[in-house]
Chains A and B, each alone.
Chain A
Amino acid sequence: DAKTTQPTSMDCAEGRAANLPCNHSTISGNEYVYWYRQIHSQGPQYIIHGLKNNETNEMASLIITEDRKSSTLILPHATLRDTAVYYCIVRVAGWRETSGSRLTFGEGTQLTVNP
């Protein structure tokens, strides 16, 4: 069963903010929200992750709703190089290996940044 739901595709104009939504209505209290992206023919790239507080790093911001049932990844100023498939994944963090700690990839959102 899919643990996250994302739109299949989105478009964004270069220089504008890209807001990528993700629904994870069945998320458990000990599960984090992770975001990765995959540029064509490359390995996935880690972007950001969070538990319940909003997070920001040099790549993006992650906004998690108070009930934790959904989140939004924000790329503040999208560039052409941000065109990629973006994956929202929930997992139990920690070094102990369990089925819940694995990264399970869904179909993701194909973000296309247009000039």
Chain B
Amino acid sequence: GAVVSQHPSWVICKSGTSVKIECRSLDFQATTMFWYRQFPKQSLMLMATSNEGSKATYEQGVEKDKFLINHASLTLSTLTVTSAHPEDSSFYICSARTSGGIIVTDTQYFGPGTRLTVL
């Protein structure tokens, strides 16, 4: 149980284009989802927290107009990188926190990550 999927697993795009990454909790409902970014040889950095049906909360230094987050359902959150540039190339990882039910814990579970390369 507690599986989180991401799609796509990797993407290469041209500078100036937009890229959408999907994050799904497959076997549990997630009221809260998180988006992290990880650059090579660095640790994970939290970008934003999203609650189902409400606006995301962004960490300091993260541009909300550039990284659009939609959390429209209890099992799906999307991150759209708008007008991507080479410096946005990174490993993007989503995480979902269980909201009770069968899995009675508030543990966060992570997706496998999406490798974004902007040319």
Which residues from chain A sit less than 8 Å from chain B, CB to CB?
Answer: 34, 36, 38, 41-46, 49, 87, 93-95, 97, 102-108
User: Which residue of chain A has the shortest Cβ distance to B92 in the bound complex?
Assistant: A43
The yes or no answer to B49 lying at the interface (CB within 8 A) is yes
Q: Is the CB of B106 within 8 A of A97?
A: no
Q: How many A-B residue pairs have CB under 8 A?
A: 55
Q: Assuming A95-B97, A95-B100, is B110 touching A43 (CB within 8 A)?
A: yes
Q: Is the CB of A46 within 8 A of B31?
A: no
Q: Is the CB of B107 within 8 A of A49?
A: yes
Q: Is the CB of A95 within 8 A of B43?
A: no
Q: Is the CB of B113 within 8 A of A43?
A: yes
Q: Pick from A46, A87, A107 the residue with the most CB of B within 10 Å.
A: A46
Q: Assuming A95-B100, A108-B43, is B107 touching A46 (CB within 8 A)?
A: yes
User: Which residue of chain B has the shortest Cβ distance to A92 in the bound complex?
Assistant: B106
Q: Is the CB of A103 within 8 A of B95?
A: yes
Q: Enumerate chain B residues within 8 angstroms of A106, measured Cβ to Cβ.
A: 43
* 5 interchain pairs, CB-CB under 8 A: A36-B110, A43-B111, A94-B106, A95-B31, A105-B43
CA gap between A107 and B111 in the complex, in Å: 20
CA gap between A34 and B105 in the complex, in Å: 13
Which residue of the partner chain, among B6, B43, B108, B113, contacts A41 with CB atoms under 8 Å? B113
Q: Enumerate chain B residues within 8 angstroms of A102, measured Cβ to Cβ.
A: 34, 46, 49
Which residue of the partner chain, among A87, A97, A107, contacts B32 with CB atoms under 8 Å? A97
Q: Enumerate chain A residues within 8 angstroms of B58, measured Cβ to Cβ.
A: none
